[in-house]
């Protein structure tokens, strides 16, 4: 099939390359012309577009346009595509990390114009090119039918890694929960390895443990593989800081759990620990220490020694 990829960053660019494995034709566009030109030079089935009007002109109808941009730029991209000549029956797929409620709104607004919309949660990161992606897509059946050949090529395990989740919004909702679970799993690994490292009398080899667990253990996983790879390169991870950022989906998951009244303590606490990682000198810790000193007379390290304590 022939489709457009709007946004050629790490994910979008690799997805174009993955589509080449299925011999699809791709019209590639990015605000920076260089990635599209490079892809067109590398692959015969890729054409670089100079503008969104050029994208529209190069696609057969019904047009299929995959938008792979940060969530804050999706609305602007859709508006520009409409102004560039998008027509009723064409399909826009939002493959970024958008809030599912935004997807529902976009789907309803585009439906009034006769334009199809699908929201696709995309997992696989920078390894998606090699291993394929896990794709969770929401939308009406006509939209899914249009994009299904490309999804099969993009997905891992010979196309098994994609599924139609339900109506518009469901794809990003499932991806949101996926990311919340990811937070909890990552935090569990982090706490376990920190606990073992603290048991200094055993002199445990963190890298060895990660490799042993990769064979037959119930905690074997890709996350463990990545942990082992990192420990192999740097046993103490001394080149990394402990600052943990978040993309926003963990917050959306926690908020959704509150709205639905569903307990998600592991995912929510994992998010809170990311916030905690950004505090170099947490006031909350001082409050606890003040209380401990007050009721129990516990010895409290002065602030000057905090850096040494944390190392």
Catalytic positions, please? 175, 182
Other C-beta atoms within 10 Å of 309: how many? 7
| Under 8 Å between Cβ of 18 and 153 | yes
How many angstroms from the chain centroid is the CA of residue 92? Answer: 19
DSSP characters over 216-251: T-TT-SHHHHHHHHHHHH-TT-TTS-------SHHH
Residues 6+ apart with CB under 8 A from 169: 100, 101, 103, 104, 107, 119, 138
Identify the H or E element spanning 74: helix 74-83
Cα(79)–Cα(84) distance, rounded to whole angstroms?
9
Which of 87, 105, 93, 69 has its CA nearest to residue 3?
A: 93
Number of H helices, E strands in the chain: 15, 8
Cα(311)–Cα(306) distance, rounded to whole angstroms?
9
């Amino acid at each position: 099939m022939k489709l457009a990829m709007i946004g050629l960053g790490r994910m979008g660019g690799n997805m174009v390359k993955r589509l080449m494995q299925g011999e699809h034709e791709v019209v590639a566009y990015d605000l920076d012309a260089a990635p599209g030109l490079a892809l067109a030079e590398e692959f015969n089935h890729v054409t670089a577009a100079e503008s969104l009007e050029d994208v529209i002109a190069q696609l057969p109808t019904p047009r299929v346009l995959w938008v792979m941009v940060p969530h804050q730029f999706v609305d602007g991209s859709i508006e520009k595509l409409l102004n560039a000549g998008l027509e009723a029956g064409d399909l826009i797929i939002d493959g970024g990390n958008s809030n599912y409620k935004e997807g529902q709104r976009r789907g309803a607004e585009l439906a009034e114009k006769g334009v199809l919309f699908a929201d696709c949660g995309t997992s696989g990161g920078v390894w998606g090119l090699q291993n394929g992606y896990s794709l969770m897509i929401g939308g009406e059946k006509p939209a899914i039918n249009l994009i299904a050949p490309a999804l099969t090529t993009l997905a891992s395990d010979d196309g098994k890694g994609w599924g139609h989740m339900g109506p518009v919004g469901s794809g990003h909702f499932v991806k949101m929960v996926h990311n919340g679970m990811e937070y909890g799993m990552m935090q569990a690994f982090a706490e376990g390895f920190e606990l073992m490292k603290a048991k200094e009398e055993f002199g445990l080899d963190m890298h060895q443990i990660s490799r042993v667990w990769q064979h037959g253990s119930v905690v074997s996983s890709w996350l463990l593989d990545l942990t082992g790879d990192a420990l192999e390169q740097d046993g103490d991870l001394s080149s990394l800081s402990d600052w943990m950022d978040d993309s926003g989906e963990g917050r959306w998951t926690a908020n959704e759990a509150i709205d639905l009244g569903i307990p998600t303590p592991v995912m929510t606490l994992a998010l809170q620990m990311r916030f905690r990682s950004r505090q170099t000198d947490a006031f909350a810790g001082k409050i606890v220490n003040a209380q401990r000193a007050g009721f129990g007379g516990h010895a409290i390290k002065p602030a000057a020694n905090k850096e040494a304590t944390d190392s």
